Structure formats: C-alpha cells, structure tokens
C-alpha cells in the first residue's frame, strides 16, 4: 500500500491549480469551477486522512462539503444569471460598483 504523501501532494497540486484559476481568469463561471476544484482537493485530503487514520469521520465531512458546494453553486449561478440579465455581460472587471 502506498504511503499517504502522494495523495496529499496531489491534493496540494489540485488546490493550487484552483487558486491559479481564480486569480488568472476573468470569467466568473470558470472562477466558480476553480472553486469547485479547490473544494475537491480538500475532499481528497479528507478521504486520504480517513483512510490512513482508519476512521470514517472524514467521509462525513466530505458529504457535508458536497452539500455546501451544491448550495453555493445554486446561489452563485443565480447571482450570475441575475447580473447577466441586468448588464448583458458578466466580466468581473466591470462589476466594480460596490468597491469601498
């Protein structure tokens, strides 16, 4: 059986990829998908630790993270659709009315 480190490094690489996606892209839908990548990287770390600690608590946390991700996607995509209806485009650089 493999040690835990390869899985944890893969999780770190996926998390970093998601962070880069949020920072580089300007399309809010792709930024959302990058957030999903980050949540999944965290889930992989949860499952890895659950396997190597032989306790299933991590599985329950993955379950809850998935539920929160579903709620977040529903609300976030609703906001994107509402902004698109109002403005006709969804470039995040032009949505700066709320800057402090």
Report long-range pairs for 63-72 (Cβ below 8 Å, ≥24 apart): 65/39, 69/36, 69/39, 72/35
CB of 53 to another protein, least distance (A): 7
Lookup: tokens for 77:
């995509």
Nearer to another protein (CB atom), residue 64 or residue 98: 64
- What residue has token string 């770390």? 45
* Number of Cβ atoms within 10 Å of the Cβ of 57: 11
Nearer to another protein (CB atom), residue 54 or residue 100: 54
Nearer to another protein (CB atom), residue 74 or residue 98: 74
CB of 16 to another protein, least distance (A): 4
CB of 1 to another protein, least distance (A): 4
């Amino acid at each position: 059986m493999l040690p835990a480190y390869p899985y944890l490094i893969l999780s770190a690489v996926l998390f970093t990829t998601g962070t880069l996606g949020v920072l580089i892209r300007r399309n809010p839908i792709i930024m959302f998908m990058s957030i999903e990548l980050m949540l999944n990287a965290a889930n992989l770390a949860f499952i890895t630790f659950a396997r190597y600690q032989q306790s299933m608590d991590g599985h329950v946390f993955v379950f809850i993270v998935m539920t929160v991700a579903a709620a977040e996607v529903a609300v976030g995509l609703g906001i994107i659709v509402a902004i698109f209806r109002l403005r006709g485009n969804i470039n995040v650089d032009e949505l700066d009315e709320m800057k402090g």
